[in-house]
Amino acid sequence: MEKRQVHYSELGLANTREMFARAMAGKYAIPAYNFNNLEQLQAIVVACVETNSPVIIQVSKGARSYANETMLRYMAMGAVQMARELGSNIPVALHLDHGDSFELCKSCVDSGFSSVMIDGSHLPFEENVALCKQVVEYAHKHDVTVEGELGVLAGIEDEVSSEHSTYTRPEEVEDFVKKTGVDSLAISIGTSHGAYKFKAGQPVPPLRFDILEECEKRIPGFPIVLHGASSVVQEYVNLINQYGGKMEGAVGVPEEQLRQAAASAVCKINIDSDGRLAVTAKIREYFGKDPKEFDPRKYLGEARKELIKLIKHKNEAVLGSAGKA
């Protein structure tokens, strides 16, 4: 049976265009939180409603497969309705994180996503341009916004992996944006995917704000995105290790550097690993203290409460998005 095409407006979703314009004017970044299941999504909605923050809920290719394409659509619609029932009209966008093909991006557009990312950063420049342009031409027909990427982030997260990072070349950004027609651009300035971003015991190298500033000069007023921006909260790492985990040497990006980035042209910051750590830490702690428990509502409920706490902190103290909906 042929699937019916669903426009994101049917689900009550917003796209990112107005979100980004307001974020750049207000010198803050829109939070883009990854989710895979109900509890994560509930936590994102509650935290963003309670801090009155706009939000981008995003899924990777793997998360979309895990949650099921149809179920995911109704989860996104449910997230919007949940916010409304909590008395809030915060804008909510549904975004594909690190789409790896035109076909995947097209499928997401057709199933109700309001924003998609096509990641051709591993390709030669002209091939990246061609792939991104193809996605833009299709997505814009449906008023769906598109994120591209220049530069490669090191680390592993879901299907995305690279042993080495490649900083974005500022001299390429203007040409890339002009040729592709993208609505936002993810750049590489020293963040990385996963929980092991830097070597433990060594000074964390500062983000390359010189690259960010040069990109901003070349594409003034254009939305810039940071991936791999989890701080790898040591409280959670320690809790995981205390209750049987093995995460020695997990280090992330200092929050003060992310706040500095959010006050510039960076208007979207992706956070995934920190949420995973919060959830895993509280579940491990729960089982460590009560190994007889087998009711998922209890240990997942505790994980959800901790995730709400984390997201509220990020919105208020790191991204500056609290109160901006």
| Residue 220 to residue 205: CA distance in whole angstroms | 26
Residue 104's alpha-carbon distances to 62, 112, 170, 204, in angstroms, are 11, 13, 28, 36
The DSSP code sequence of 167-223 is: ---HHHHHHHHHHH--SEEEE-SS--BSSB-S-TTSPPPPP-HHHHHHHHHHSTT--
H or E element in which residue 303 lies: helix 296-313
| Residue in 97, 119, 158, 183 annotated catalytic | 97
**Residue 77: closest CA among 26, 177, 157, 7:** 7
Burial class (CB in 10 A: 0-12, 13-18, 19+), 167: middle
Q: Which amino acid is at 286?
A: Y
**Residue 323: closest CA among 59, 130, 102, 50:** 50
**Which pair of structure tokens corresponds to residue 44?**
């994102």
The residues facing 157 across adjacent strands are 160
97 among known catalytic residues:
yes
| Residue 270 to residue 246: CA distance in whole angstroms | 25
Active site residues: 97
